[in-house]
């Protein structure tokens, strides 16, 4: 919130200067208000990067970047907003421009690689990460290195990068979930289950990790919900996931029972589970 007393003092100071009869008064006033506008703009940019609608933020930064194309902070704001808006090819194109600017940093290259991965350009993402100096050891860099190694089924490298990434953040839940999913795709279900459990302990709100945990258990024909934090809606959704896992394994009757549990557990009408159960009954 703007402090009115401080602002009043600033404006009063401007008024005194303007009344001195000095020919430089007008330029001093202009510079003073420019300073105020810079503060306002910084606050606005921060808001746009956090709470604003992503596409509204894109419009704001695109408009400002057109007026001041050499400002790297505005270009970064535009690229970050494009990622938030899930406009990944545009974000990658903007980061490509940023990494060629004079004030670019290694973090910009890592963010460029992130946008490239999101837009599906794995080869260019790997090349971009390879260009980052090895001394630039950050969580985001190693998280992306792990994802790229996963995409190439270079499991030992992926495991090493995931482990390093976890050690470089105070909030490792999401990367533990990614590592668990990597183990799940390899068929290492026990290891995946352990990692998903670790991710949930780090962040109990991470529903993706809860759902993945159920997939790992279902792959082992363990058709009970684990003792994790969940609300009633989440419980119903996880029972539905478990039911589908059972059906996929050929345990159809178990799947039907789990679907019925999901329907009765959900606090509202659970249409997806109802359709699944109806389809099974019609097929039988």
- The pLDDT value given to residue 284: 62
- The pLDDT value given to residue 279: 87
Calpha distance 281→284 (Å, rounded): 5
- The pLDDT value given to residue 46: 72
- The pLDDT value given to residue 40: 55
Three-state SS sequence of the chain: CCCHHHHHHHHHHHHHHHCCCCCCHHHHHHHHHHHHHHHHHHHHHHHHHHCCCHHHHHHHHHHHHHHCCCCHHHHHHHHHHHHHCCCHHHHHHHHHHHCCCCCCCHHHHHHHHHHHHHCCCHHHHHHHHHCCCCCCCCHHHHHHHHHHHHHCCCHHHHHHHHHHHHHCCCCCHHHHHHHHHHHHHHCCHHHHHHHHHHHHHHCCCCHHHHHHHHHHHHHCCCCCCCCCCCCHHHHHHHHHHHHHHHHHCCCHHHHHHHHHHHHHHCCCCCHHHHHHHHHHHHHC
pTM above 0.75, yes or no: yes
Profile the chain (284 residues) by mean pLDDT over runs of 10 residues: 37 36 48 43 69 85 92 95 96 97 96 97 97 96 97 96 97 96 96 97 96 97 95 96 95 94 94 91 76
Calpha distance 125→131 (Å, rounded): 10
271: closest CA among 279, 183, 133? Answer: 279
- The pLDDT value given to residue 32: 40
- The pLDDT value given to residue 53: 84
């Amino acid at each position: 919130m703007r402090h009115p007393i401080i602002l009043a003092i600033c404006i009063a100071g401007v008024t005194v200067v303007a009344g001195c009869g000095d020919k430089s008064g007008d330029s001093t006033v202009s510079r003073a208000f420019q300073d105020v506008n810079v503060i306002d703009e910084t606050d606005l940019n921060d808001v746009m990067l956090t709470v604003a609608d992503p596409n509204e933020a894109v419009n704001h930064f695109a408009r400002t970047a057109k007026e001041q194309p050499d400002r790297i902070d505005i270009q970064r704001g535009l690229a970050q907003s494009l990622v938030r808006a899930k406009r990944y090819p545009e974000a990658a194109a903007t980061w490509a421009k940023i990494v060629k600017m004079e004030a670019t940093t290694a973090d910009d290259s890592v963010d460029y690689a992130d946008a490239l991965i999101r837009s599906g350009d794995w080869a260019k993402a790997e090349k971009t990460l390879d260009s980052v100096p090895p001394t630039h050891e950050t969580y985001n860099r190693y998280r992306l290195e792990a994802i790229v190694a996963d995409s190439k089924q270079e499991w030992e490298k992926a495991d090493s990068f995931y482990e390093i990434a976890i050690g470089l953040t105070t909030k490792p839940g999401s990367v533990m979930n990614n590592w668990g999913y990597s183990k799940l795709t390899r068929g290492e279900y026990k290891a995946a289950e352990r990692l998903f459990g670790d991710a949930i302990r780090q962040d109990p709100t991470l529903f993706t990790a809860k759902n993945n945990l159920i997939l790992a258990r279902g792959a082992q024909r363990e058709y009970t919900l684990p003792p994790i934090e969940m609300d009633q809606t989440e419980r119903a959704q996880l029972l539905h996931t478990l039911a589908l896992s059972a059906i996929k394994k050929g345990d159809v009757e178990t799947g039907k029972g789990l679907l019925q549990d999901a329907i009765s557990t959900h606090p509202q009408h659970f249409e997806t589970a109802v359709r699944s159960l109806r389809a099974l009954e019609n097929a039988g």
